[in-house]
Each structure stands twice: as C-alpha cells, then as structure tokens.
Amino acid sequence: MPLCFSLKLQSNPTDHLNSFSTYQTYSVKDQIVRLANEPSTVNWMKSVRREMHENPELSYEEFETSALIRRELEKLGVAYKWPVAKTGVVATIGSGSPPFVALRADMDALPIEEMVDWENKSKVEGKMHACGHDGHVAMLLGAAKILKQLQDTLQGTVVLIFQPAEERGVGAKDMIEEGVLDNVEAVFGMHIVLDYPTGVVGLRPGEFLAGCGSFKAKIHGKGGHAAIPQQSIDPILAASTSVISLQSIVSRETDPLDSQVVSVAVIKAGSSFNVIPESATISGTFRAFSKKNFKGLMNRIEEVVKGQAAVHRCSAEVEFLGKEHPTIPPTVNDERIYEQVRGISSEIVGEENIQLAHTSMGSEDFAFYLDKVPGFMLFLGTRNEKIGAIHAPHSPNYIIDEDVFPIGAAIHAAFAHSFLSDSTVKLHLHNF
C-alpha cells in the first residue's frame, strides 16, 4: 500500500447503511485523508514512534512514554489528564459536550531483547516494543493532530485514551475504574497485524478475539513415605487424573465447530523422590469466544478438579482471578458499529483492501471497554516482505511497516468524526 492513499467516493452516498457518506461533505472526508498524508505529519508520526521504540517501558512503568505523549499533545494544543491508572493519559478534543466517543491506543512494551539491527533499535536491555504499541500511539497522536485541525467541525467530544499495561491484561480495567468511559457512547481501537499486507483492513462483527482466563488449582492430600503409600493420600495422583479429565471438556463436551481451549501448562508437586507431598498444584489457561462458553469453561474446570480430588480422597481449591494472569473477557464487536467502521475503512483504503478478519485465540484487554459500551476493534495490516515485516508479534525480530501510519490515523479520525455527527443527527431526529 503506497504511502499516499486516496479516498474513494461512492457513486451513490445512500448505498451505505451507516451515515458516513451522508453526514458530512466530501470536503471533510478529503481533508482527513489529506491531513493524514501531509509529509510533515507522516514524518512526525514516524519520529514519535521511533523515539518511543528506542525507550520501551513495561506495564505501569511508562513514565517516559507518557511524558512523550503529553509533550506532543501540548504542542498540538490538546488538553489532557494525567496520570490516569498510574501512567495513562486521557486527552479530549472538541466541544467538551456530548456526545462523547473514545479512541484508544495501548503503550506498554515487552520484556524481550530486540534482535533487529537498525538505527532506532531499543536502547533498553531486555525490553522491546514487539507488539506494535509504539505504532498504535503514533497513529492515535496522528488522529489527534487531524481532529484538532478539524475541531470546529466536531459535533461533540473525542476522548483519546493512551492506556498502560495492556500486556498484563489489566490496564483497560484500571482506566475504566478511573472513569475514562464516563458519558462515552462508543469506543474504537485498532491493532496492527502481520496477517495482512500493509494497508489492508481486517474487520469482523460480533465475536472476534477469545476471552483469556487462567486457573490455578491446589490439591490437598496427606504427605508420607513413598514406600508406604497406603498411609498417605496422594495429591499427585489426583492432580494427574485432573489433568487428563480436563482435556475431555473440549474434546467431549463442546461443539467441534465452536473453538475453545483448556490447557494445563504448569504442574508443581514434591521435592524428593521418596516423599509423597502434602499438596500438588496445576495451572493453565482457557479460551472461548462467547461469554456464555467462557463462563461455562470456568464452571467445568472447577467441577472437574474438585470432582477428581474427591475421588482420590483429596480436597481442592480453584482460583481464577490471579493477579499475574488476570481473566480477560472475549472481545465482541458491536454489529451496528461494524457497518459504520466498514464504510469508513472502505472509503479510505478501497473496498478491495477490506477483508473479513478471522477469529483469533489471542485476547485483548480492549474487551473490558466493550463490556461497558458498544465499540469496535479492527486489524490493520502491516506485512511487508521487502522490509522484513514478516515476524509475528512478541518476536525479537518484529518489524512494522511505518507506511501504515497515515492510514491508521485517518481511520481513527474519520470514525470519531463520523460517529459524533451521526449521534447528533439521531438526537435531532429524536427531538423533532
């Protein structure tokens, strides 16, 4: 996808179910694309991303990152609040009055040693932006610049959420607890992916990303000498049968066409070859796309572990809300907002560059926002074999194609502008 992309107008503006083609003049749409592609803006987004990439910070350590964001917002004349959820930044552009729509970017890095040798390689040993969050911030700042320039045409208020700690799965929840969604009618986010070439947009209404849960079960028995097991109650045996029985939840109890996962990844018990321990611990993850199935897996995991423990004369306690690996609900995109996002995206990148995104067992704490208000997350392709942008996220060789930045910034800005205008039109019609 070339750096300078063009807006493709519909021959009949009423063809879309959404109001993007009817609520505003073509000149505003053209302006969004033109502003996103201004060389100074493109170069600025790249420089912000590169500065952020050189100085990666882990979850809740994003102090320099938030300072960078605040510095750039101040240059743009955009008001903000900080700190929110320890290191987060929340900015606003527009009238300051309803309706409110939110745009979100995550900003934390990963504990990975970067292996890519380039001019702006990470300067922090053992830390790297290997999931594209630096790109997300650059694109949202780009959208902020566009929206600030079009502020007089905004029929409401855009809330810009720069969120910490996505990689820990807790940042969004903490931001919500501090009120970032108060009065917000809809929330929008995007994630750059290697699944599609640069500039291709992946969209999916409804169930999109799996909910991610973790569990930890401690099985209590009675310790003793391994040579006289009849005097003990063996928690290892109970743990072993629990692991085997947990595999039957997905293989025997769920629809094969409805993807779900239960995986035991950790077993801990004992420290000596001739001692039956007092307890054994198993832990793992479970995934599902629907909230109903997600809750169902939680219930069955607990039933299976406690049932197997009882069979072997043990007791068990099962924990799901661990601090290290919190439970994240499924990411479910709003069906109605999908129509609006699809229309906007096709206007910007062309219908030929729109694809139905596949569901993914990966999870995103953006789901916490969607639990509170209607919203949408899309995938934005950044695969480019020529520059080596082929390695999956969380790889030490991860590279993103920066040519995607004006596209992402334009989609962010266009969605916010569209949603506010559409909401205002509906309010006027209701009052009429």
Residue 415, C-beta contacts closer than 8 angstroms, at least 6 positions apart:
101, 103, 188, 340, 341, 344
Residue 59, C-beta contacts closer than 8 angstroms, at least 6 positions apart:
108, 164, 165, 166, 167, 168, 170, 171
> H/E/C letters for each residue in 196-240?
EECCCEEECCEEEECEEEEEEEEEECECEECCCHHHCECHHHHHH
Residue 417 known to bind ligand: no
Tally Cβ neighbours within 10 Å of residue 430.
Answer: 7
- Structure tokens belonging to residue 223: 């310790």
Residue 191 known to bind ligand: yes
The Cα 282–Cα 266 span in angstroms is 5
Q: Which of 108, 8, 6 has the alpha carbon at shortest distance from 65?
A: 108
Beta bridge mates, 213: 286
For 317-360, where are the alpha helices, taking DSSP H only?
Answer: 335-349
The Cα 89–Cα 68 span in angstroms is 11
Q: 343 near 20, Cβ under 8 Å?
A: yes
The Cα 160–Cα 416 span in angstroms is 10
The Cα 32–Cα 153 span in angstroms is 12
Residue 394 known to bind ligand: yes
Residue 314 known to bind ligand: no
Burial 110-132 (b: 16+ CB within 10 A, else e): bebebebeeeeebeeeebbbbbb
Q: First CA to last CA across the chain, in angstroms?
A: 45
Q: Which of 379, 412, 432, 418 has the alpha carbon at shortest distance from 160?
A: 412
What residue numbers does the annotated binding site cover? 131, 133, 167, 191, 394
What residue numbers does the annotated binding site for Mn(2+) cover? 131, 133, 167, 191, 394
